[in-house]
Structure 1
Amino acid sequence: MKAITVQDVVNKFSLKVLAGEKHLQRKVTKTRVHRPGLEFVGYFDFFPTERVQTLGKKEVTYLHKLSKEERKTRIGNIVHYHPPCFIVTAEEDGLTYLTRHCIEEKIPLLITQQPESTSEFISKLESYLSNVLAPEISIHGVCVNVSGIGILLRGKSGVGKSETAHTLILRGHRLVADDVVVLKKISPQTILGTHDEKTKEFLALRSIGLLNVVRLYGRKSFQDETPISLDILLTKWEKDALNNELDHEPQFVEYMGVSIPTLEIQVQPGRDVAELIEAAVHNWILKKQGYSAAEEFMRRIEGNVE
């Protein structure tokens, strides 16, 4: 199971540590965040103890209104389960009782320093956790974003994946990763493509060498990650290897149990593969919108026959 530490969360969101400075290496393994409610009145049947616990203005105001003994009992019941940490998004004033409980139980107590609502913070935190804790694999290929659509280019070494990516960049599209593409499963239906940090912004071209696309073409030529919508296999040209039907049966490839539409494009000198990829992307977008050129063509043919 993948995990990060509470210290990672502190660093990411510039949180202030109120208690538990020596226990920031505690593990965070869950992508969802919990906001205690029923637990304050003693109902713990479904308490997600392994999640980060977040307290907003609503929860803190409720605790402030309790008597000293009631607070001791209700907070004590929660800290007894030792969640990874507590994060408060309300003001720090009056939290001495919560600080004391966290010190006693060796649980980090953190507080946000940016003015934002609890729901906004939770949304950003869960997005971050979903990304860093997502199951992942690394594959050989190139990842690009073409017209807002994430594309995974695969093929044998030397087939022209990086050269094709370079042409796409010159046409205003963006590089995500070259050579090593990290795929993350961030939901049952979504695969995210990104780089492995070491190769970030780099593109390797045969005979030319290593290029930093951001230095050469500006920030618009690169993005950190993109949801993968289409998988394209580049292969060397073989006469009659691919049929030329009006429309092909949809083909799919699976990554960590998620099916991605895939197609094959043959490469040969003089063939504008980047242009074909643009056409494939725009055609995919039209199909997602419910339009099929092949179906319209057949309707026209049938209309003439009748």
Structure 2
Amino acid sequence: MKKVTIESLVQKYSLKVLAGENHLQKIITQPRVHRPGLEFVGHFDFFPTEQVQILGKKEITYLHKLSREERKIRIGNIVHYHPPCFIVTAGEEGLTYLIHHCTEQGIPLLVTKQPETTSEFITKLDAFLIKELAPEISVHGVCMNVSGIGILLRGNSGVGKSETAHTLIRRGHRLVSDDIVVLKKLSTQTILGTHDGKTKEFLALRSIGLLNVVRLYGRKAFQDETRISLDIHLTKWEKDALYNDLEQEYHFTDYMGVKIPSMEIQLQPGRDVAGLIEAAANNWYLKQQGYSAVEEFMSRVEADIMKPDRD
């Protein structure tokens, strides 16, 4: 998990610092921001003190309408809890009282410069913090985006993961990461796959060496991240190990408490493994839409059985 400082937010969103410039190295630990409301009228039972506090037009207008003494009490009650910082999205006019309180308590007071609504800024900042502060692990494998479906390719070293990824790239799909895949848990149902920075855009092929897929095949060959939908294990061919069932049941691999559907594809010279991965991705997508090829096939069989004999 990366450390996110107040200074990193200032740089990323071009925020103006009105107070607390000596405290920008504070670390943010919570992945969501908070917009105080009930706290202004004295209710602090559920006040998330470790979250970034956002003050929009609604909050600033309310504070402006208070008397000086009342405003001092309301703001003083909140800054007493020392949240990481305040970000104002309603402009910097008339914020002298906020500057005073934040300077006194050593709390950074920041103002947005971009012309966007408070809700838009909160959505953007929440998404950034959730991603940056998400629990993460690193696994050995290759991460690809195949027809919009995030796929994690795993298998023993030398089994052919990178070579398969190269074939997929040549077919128009996108590399996310080779060798080291960083998995981030964004929610109880979502795992995001990405690279570690060092391996960005690189694919290592035995007998060839290190390739930069963007330089070779253009920007369409790479993307920074993808939601993992399938975990595919590439294994060496074993005779009689696979069954020609009408429908293969998914197994599941657990990553930080999130179960990802997994399947096995065996490699053999001449076998179109990249094509099988494309088929697996597209079939998974159809299943999410409620379609089952087996159900359609069986309904056709039943319909044929029910037809009256035509002697």
TM-score (norm 2): 0.96
User: How far apart, CA to CA, are the structure 1 residues paired with 2:183 and 2:2?
Assistant: 15
Instruction: Using the TM superposition, give the Cα deviation of residue 278 of structure 1 relative to its aligned residue in structure 2, in angstroms.
Output: 0.5
Asked if the contact 1:6/1:28 (under 8 Å) is kept, the reply is: yes
Instruction: Using the TM superposition, give the Cα deviation of residue 2 of structure 1 relative to its aligned residue in structure 2, in angstroms.
Output: 6.2
Q: Which residue of 2 aligns with 1:178?
A: 178
User: How far apart, CA to CA, are the structure 2 residues paired with 1:211 and 1:172?
Assistant: 16
Is 1:245 the counterpart of 2:245? The answer is: yes
Superposed CA offset, 1:222-273 (max 9, x none): 1000000011000111111111111122211110010111111111111111
User: How far apart, CA to CA, are the structure 1 residues paired with 2:35 and 2:249?
Assistant: 47
Instruction: Using the TM superposition, give the Cα deviation of residue 11 of structure 1 relative to its aligned residue in structure 2, in angstroms.
Output: 1.8
Q: Which residue of 2 aligns with 1:295?
A: 295
User: How far apart, CA to CA, are the structure 2 residues paired with 1:240 and 1:10?
Assistant: 60
CA RMSD in angstroms comes to 1.1
Is 1:86 the counterpart of 2:86? The answer is: yes
Instruction: Using the TM superposition, give the Cα deviation of residue 20 of structure 1 relative to its aligned residue in structure 2, in angstroms.
Output: 0.5
Is 1:144 the counterpart of 2:166? The answer is: no
Instruction: Using the TM superposition, give the Cα deviation of residue 73 of structure 1 relative to its aligned residue in structure 2, in angstroms.
Output: 0.8
Shifted more, 61-70 versus 103-112: the winner is 61-70
Is 1:165 the counterpart of 2:194? The answer is: no
3-state secondary structure, aligned to 2:25: coil
Shifted more, 1-10 versus 177-186: the winner is 1-10
Asked if the contact 1:2/1:135 (under 8 Å) is kept, the reply is: no
Q: Which residue of 1 aligns with 2:121?
A: 121
- Which amino acid in structure 2 is aligned with residue 9 of structure 1? L
User: How far apart, CA to CA, are the structure 1 residues paired with 2:3 and 2:203?
Assistant: 30
Shifted more, 245-254 versus 48-57: the winner is 245-254
How many residue pairs end up in the alignment? 306
Q: Which residue of 2 aligns with 1:220?
A: 220
Structure-to-structure mapping, 1:1-306, within 5 angstroms: 3-306=3-306
3-state secondary structure, aligned to 2:131: helix
The percent identity for this pair of structures is 76
Asked if the contact 1:2/1:29 (under 8 Å) is kept, the reply is: no
Segments of structure 2 that go 5 or more residues without pairing to the other structure are: 307-311
- Which amino acid in structure 1 is aligned with residue 151 of structure 2? I
Segments of structure 1 that go 5 or more residues without pairing to the other structure are: none
- Which amino acid in structure 2 is aligned with residue 195 of structure 1? H
User: How far apart, CA to CA, are the structure 2 residues paired with 1:173 and 1:123?
Assistant: 29
